[in-house]
Amino acid sequence: MKRLSLHFLFFILICDAAFSQDIPILFSVAQADYELLENPISLNEGEIWQPETNYSIFFNFEFEINGNIYTSLIVNAGIGLTFSGPNTPELWIWGSEWGGSPFLHDQGTDESESPIDYEITGSQGTHILKIQWQNAGIRGVEGEDDPDDFVNFQMWVYEGTDKVEVHYGSSQTSSISFGYNNGPGVRYFHIEDDWGICVHGYADVPLWDWVEFDGPYGGCLLDGVPSDGVVFKFYENPVVSISEVPGNKKTNFEVVYNKWSNELKVHIDEFENGKTYKLIIYDGRGMKTNELVLNNEDTNLKNLLLEKGLYIFMLQDQTTITTQKLILN
């Protein structure tokens, strides 16, 4: 019976452009009560802002994106955030299908009716920068807008992490605002060169892909606007980013795939009785597919229903986390 080792498959991984990118940032969706900022600091100070208006915030703590440190950002009033610095990462949540074309605008005529505020909460080491849009209007794809349409949301940036969240409040939208797809374009890109996350599909439970934005890239569209209380989370990939605990012995393990029986064998070097070993399996998009507890030095895994493609295996005991990569073909 033919057996493919992890080491052989790893060289295939390096040579295959489709799987050449470790995904440093993942995406998930949660729910939380939407609450207005308690001590907001105004960015627009009562002035009417336009979709192309930008504001700078210096938050005086370190925020990390894929190993690069930022201490300030630009609020793109009509579309999202830009982190000035290496790669210039951008998080756009109100774009058009092909990127750009910010949708949001101030609904005021003589003075602002759509304030943009921020505040920094927490203490040293746990600060959160929270930026808030209230009653923002939506400019339609044809330059029109429905005066009854509005959105409320916040964007949170967490100190010392790669974590950014978008918290959605109440909104009212129409077909005038978004056209055939009924929702805005959402993308978080320039995370690693031109690579980033494209969010698409049903607004409350969207799909996402790790793609290269090396030119106009369409399809990052939501079907509708997320409901009140929905939270989009962008966060570091523990499989790619997590390191072993200093001072603890590394737990080596090997994953071997038997393609004929569609079984996986996991071998743990220097297995210790009484220790708990947890194996977590992620697919090539960083989505967790399985989580198991291993009680033996050698474990045969059957009926995991894994399709062809890249998988990352993370083995965790009480003190250490290590990872392996594998392609099922």
Average pLDDT score over residue span 94-98: 79
Three-class secondary structure of residue 12 per DSSP? helix
Whole-number pLDDT of residue 22: 67
Quick: pLDDT tens for 235-293. 888 655 433 333 334 457 888 877 777 788 899 888 888 888 888 887 766 677 888 89
CATH fold of the domain at 6-14+241-328: Immunoglobulin-like (2.60.40)
pLDDT at 10 over 50: no
Where is average pLDDT lowest: 44-48, 96-100, 262-266, 269-273?
A: 96-100
Whole-number pLDDT of residue 12: 32
pLDDT at 185 over 80: yes
Quick: pLDDT tens for 203-226. 998 999 989 998 878 888 898 889
* Residue 256: φ, ψ to 5°: -120, 135
Average pLDDT score over residue span 36-57: 96
pLDDT at 63 over 70: yes
Q: How far apart are CA 210 and CA 191, in angstroms?
A: 10
pLDDT at 20 over 70: no
* Greater model confidence, 141 or 19: 141
Q: How far apart are CA 208 and CA 229, in angstroms?
A: 20
Which residue in the block uniquely carries the two structure tokens 């393609």? Answer: 259
Whole-number pLDDT of residue 307: 76
Q: Over the Cα atoms of the chain, what is R_g?
A: 23
Q: In this prediction, what percent of the chain has a pLDDT beyond 90?
A: 36
Q: How far apart are CA 109 and CA 64, in angstroms?
A: 39
Q: Where in the chain is the domain with CATH 2.60.40.10?
A: 6-14+241-328
* Greater model confidence, 101 or 73: 73
Average pLDDT score over residue span 7-33: 59
Please give the C-alpha separations between residue 214 and each of 33, 41, 99, 221, 286, in angstroms, as whole numbers: 37, 36, 12, 18, 21
Whole-number pLDDT of residue 105: 93
Whole-number pLDDT of residue 175: 66
Whole-number pLDDT of residue 181: 55
Q: How far apart are CA 212 and CA 113, in angstroms?
A: 38
Average pLDDT score over residue span 9-14: 34
Three-class secondary structure of residue 42 per DSSP? strand
Whole-number pLDDT of residue 178: 64
CB of 306 closer than 8 Å to CB of 289: yes
Quick: pLDDT tens for 132-161. 999 999 876 566 667 788 999 999 999 988
